[in-house]
Amino acid sequence: MDILRRRAAEAVSYSVKDGGGLVTEADHEVDAMLRAYLPQADDGWLSEESEDDRTRLACRRVWVVDPIDGTRAFIARRPEYSTSIALLEDGEPVLGAIGNPATGVLVYGGPGLGVAVEGSPDLDWSGEPGDLRVLASRSELKRGEWRPFERPGTTAIAMGSVAYSLALVAAGAAEATWTMYPKHEWDVAAGVALVRGAGGSVWLPRGGHLLWNRRSPRFLSFAASAPGLQERAQAAMQVRS
């Protein structure tokens, strides 16, 4: 996280990738550092900022990385971006670590391991006690796409990183998060390991199967909830008639 703290203190320049996404020098620096440090000889690698090496498809262990999830937030200096690191073994996320350099929060763990939290992940909420606290994409909220989900008992807060949203659900700072828009494996793999490590649930609202290390590593939607709250979250996701 030191790289991003240093880069955030500088003037941030960026370029536009094919498809419209933004990328900074910090994305590439973190990607290179993690790729040099994490994979062992037979491990695969899947990162948003690396050319996809399809030899990963035959690997038992694959690292799935997003150097900066929430690049727009990083550029805008909003403290909502994160670095997301996951390890897949035999096609399942077994370890996850998500750090938010701006706040010093780090969440790590996985299924059967539990979840550890460093820093203070608590967020300010304007809702009522007992509300379902839901982390929502800042851009989706801005476009008005969460209006169908507005109802008593549900409070949404904007977040610029889906990976950090999943980490906060795993850490107990929120009850749920969801999006009806596509997400890549590098956006959510670490968060899935953490939510499952905390005893929570993950699912695909638009249907499909949670299969990992695929040739096209993308899901059409994504949702997660804290332990015992999947049904309540699913009810809150129903569009009002």
Whole-angstrom distance, CA of residue 199 vs CA of residue 110: 10
Residue type, 71: T
Please give the chain's pLDDT, 241 residues, in tens: 566 666 666 667 788 887 778 888 899 999 999 999 999 999 999 999 999 999 999 999 999 999 999 999 988 889 999 999 999 999 999 999 999 999 999 999 999 999 999 999 988 887 778 899 999 999 999 999 999 998 899 999 999 999 999 999 999 999 999 999 999 999 999 999 999 999 999 999 999 889 999 999 999 999 999 999 999 999 999 875 4
d(CA 234, CA 81): 26
| CA pair distance 132, 230, nearest whole angstrom | 11
How many Cα atoms within 13 Å fall on the side-chain side of residue 64?
30
Per-residue model confidence (pLDDT) at position 20: 73
| Topology given in CATH for the domain delimited by 2-237 | Fructose-1,6-Bisphosphatase; Chain A, domain 1 (3.30.540)
pLDDT at residue 173 in the model: 96
| Per-domain residue ranges of the chain | 2-237
Contact in structure between 165 and 174 (CB atoms under 8 Å): yes
Distance between CA atoms of residues 8 and 26, nearest Å = 9
